[in-house]
């Protein structure tokens, strides 16, 4: 009886592993891709050109909340020196002055950190601007 039970558990375990691993036509790398029959052009959503155009011009939502001048500065800076996060991705960036330099942060939470160690974070901004 024990061997039958063990064998059943092994089979169930293997079946589970196959399902979890995604063993199928896509080789476990996401959903299988289908191609339309030959002679049939793939269909695109009617708003695809609009989405592509918007994607090319799209700003992180939070940057749109800044004035034009601040938005230009934040776009040039690109990332929060404290978190490394994309400016505007967490809402309107926070504008502060550190050692007479205007700096944008991703959120209020980064302000205390940059004030504790301004040289460290200003150096990050200077290094990223030289690329």
Q: What is the mean pLDDT of the chain?
A: 73
- For residue 101, the SS3 value is strand
96-110 mean pLDDT: 96
Q: Which helix H or strand E contains 98, and what residues bound it?
A: strand 94-98
The pTM score is 0.55
Flag whether 124 is in a domain. yes
Flag whether 39 is in a domain. no
Flag whether 72 is in a domain. yes
Assigned token pair, 74: 């934040």
Residues in the chain: 131
Flag whether 20 is in a domain. no
17-44 mean pLDDT: 48
What total of structural domains would you count in the chain?
A: 1
Report CA torsion sign: 35, 40, 46, 51. Answer: positive
Is 80 exceeded by the pLDDT of residue 71?
Answer: yes
Note down the domain range covering 69: 60-129
Assigned token pair, 19: 């399902």
pLDDT value for 42:
52
Flag whether 19 is in a domain. no
Flag whether 23 is in a domain. no
Cα 74 to chain centroid distance, Å, stands at: 18
């Amino acid at each position: 009886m024990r061997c039958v039970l063990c064998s059943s558990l092994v089979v169930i375990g293997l079946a589970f592993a196959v399902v979890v691993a995604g063993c199928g036509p896509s080789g476990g790398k996401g959903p299988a891709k289908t191609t339309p029959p030959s002679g049939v052009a793939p269909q695109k959503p009617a708003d695809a050109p609009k989405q592509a155009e918007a994607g090319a011009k799209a700003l992180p939502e939070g940057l749109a909340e800044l004035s034009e001048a601040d938005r230009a500065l934040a776009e040039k800076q690109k990332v929060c020196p404290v978190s490394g996060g994309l400016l505007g991705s967490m809402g309107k960036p926070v504008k502060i002055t550190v050692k007479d330099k205007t700096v944008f942060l991703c959120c209020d939470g980064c302000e205390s950190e940059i004030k504790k160690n301004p040289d460290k974070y200003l150096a990050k901004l200077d290094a990223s601007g030289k690329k």
